[in-house]
Amino acid sequence: MQTSYQLYMPTKVISKIGASEEVGEILLAHGYKTILLVTDKGIVNSGLLENIVQSLNNGNIEYKIFSDVEPNPKSATITKIIDQYKDFNIDAVLAIGGGSSIDTAKAVAVMLKNEGNILDYEGVEKIPNEGVPLVAIPTTAGTGSEVTASTIITDENSLFKVAVISSKIFPKLAILDAQLTLNCPRHITSSTGMDALTHAIESYLSKQKNPVSNAIALHAIKLIEENINRAYYYGSDIHSREKMLEASMLAGYAFSQTRLGNVHAISQAFGGLFDIPHGVANATILPYIMEYNLPAAVDEYVEISKALNVYDPHLSAKENAEKVVKKIKEMNKELEIPMYTKELGVNLDHIDQIIKDSMRSGNILVNPRLTTAKDIEYLVRLSYDGEVPIPLPASKNNAVKTGSLAFN
């Protein structure tokens, strides 16, 4: 593990049952009086906005609502919002929803103070100016986007999901209110929960990990293992919902410092090309990537086995590592996650583009096992129907080198 590292987490987190009903008071305390609220139609139709809007009214906060966020948000949507509200003199952007709403709000917040198109800032630390302050209220326990420095926006021309990463994207404030997740549909609870698990595991395995991110990621893994089934099957248990929301936030904190890995590289390609929801794509691919990465990270897998409560002191390190892969497969089955990506709508006619887009992702650089384009092809084809299509490449030639992500 590297011995030198940097940590930067400027997001203030308020975790409290019912905190969303106090949002007007909280915003005023931070000096925000003119708000652009960014959300989606599902949130509006569910009634989750009612108490939040009432709180804004009680605080005499002026606000506009944009509620047309789509899954896998596109750059044209960001431009549309900027054009519609750029003269509103916005003090802060308030995001309410899942990862798509929060990512949209992040892009809007920075583009209100920067020129051009959000796609112009692909990569790390390309944004020149501080954006409008962002307040994020997640309604799913999955993305952790409320505490991360990235926004993922689809280029509608190339269908590539562009990652924009900058310390200027971190939300100023995250409000965690588990009661907003109580009515989350079961399939959303499962896919977002496994999304959070993927974040925690890939952060823990990242080549850019550090002792702090490791401790946080392992705790997130433990919380998810202990609470995801009850949140899924029981649903209205506020304690498990609160712990899942906490785990999602912690996993987000961890990967904001480390980036992720091959799961996200491939799933983001799927999301852009086939409009597959991010969480279920991650969950479906995870077991295949875990099997692939195991030889490069046996010791790390042993620690993950302890967090997942499957460690057996009588077994070898490799055997305990293998129990991690088995456990993740079992979790997916219990949570009714599809076993193969063909069930998600992946089309292998686009295999060349999938490989190209996956290799373009910076997450490949920090995956624990060196990865080539041939490796990506193998993993994509294997995850499609579970059948081994070609011999696994040795990954000795043309291996990518680890990158760097540091906030100065």
Query: Cβ(111)–Cβ(77) under 8 Å?
Result: no
Radius of gyration of the chain measured on its C-alpha atoms: 20
CA 176 – CA 368 distance, rounded (Å): 31
Write the single-letter amino acid at 134.
L
Give the whole-angstrom CA distance, residue 4 versus residue 36: 40
Cα–Cα–Cα angle for 319, 323, 328, nearest 5°?
Answer: 155
Beta bridge partners of residue 34, listed in sequence order: 62
Please tell me the distance from the alpha carbon of residue 209 to that of residue 263, in angstroms, as a whole number.
16
- DSSP per-residue letters across 197-261: HHHHHHHHH-TT--HHHHHHHHHHHHHHHHHHHHHHHT---HHHHHHHHHHHHHHHHHHHHH---
Distance (Å, whole) CA 278 – CA 174:
21
How is the chain split into domains, by residue range? 12-181, 186-385
d(CA 383, CA 342): 8
Provide the sign of the torsion angle of the four alpha carbons 323, 327, 333, 338, taken in this order.
Answer: negative
Rounded CA separation 138/245 (Å) = 8
Residue with tokens 């310390």: 167
Burial of 374 (0-12, 13-18, 19+ CB in 10 A): middle
Whole-angstrom distance, CA of residue 35 vs CA of residue 19: 18
CA dihedral 31, 37, 39, 43 (to 10 degrees): 90
pLDDT tens, residue order, the chain (408 aa): 556 888 889 999 999 999 999 999 999 999 999 999 999 998 999 889 999 999 999 999 999 999 999 888 899 999 999 999 988 889 999 999 988 999 999 999 999 999 999 999 988 899 999 999 999 999 999 889 999 999 989 888 887 888 899 999 999 999 999 999 998 899 999 999 999 999 999 999 999 999 999 999 999 999 999 999 999 999 899 999 999 999 999 999 999 898 899 999 999 899 888 988 888 999 999 999 999 999 999 999 999 999 999 999 999 999 999 999 999 999 999 999 999 999 999 999 999 999 999 998 889 999 999 999 999 999 999 999 887 665 555 544 333 333 333 332
- The amino acid at residue 128 is P
**CATH assignment, 186-385:** 1.20.1090.10
The correct CATH number of 12-181 out of 3.40.50.1970, 2.40.110.20, 3.40.710.10, 3.30.1330.30 is 3.40.50.1970
Q: What pLDDT does residue 134 have?
A: 97
Angle between helices 75-85 and 99-111 in degrees, nearest 10: 50
Helix (H) or strand (E) holding 138: strand 134-138
pTM: 0.90
Determine the length of the chain. Answer: 408
Query: Which pLDDT belongs to residue 406?
Result: 33
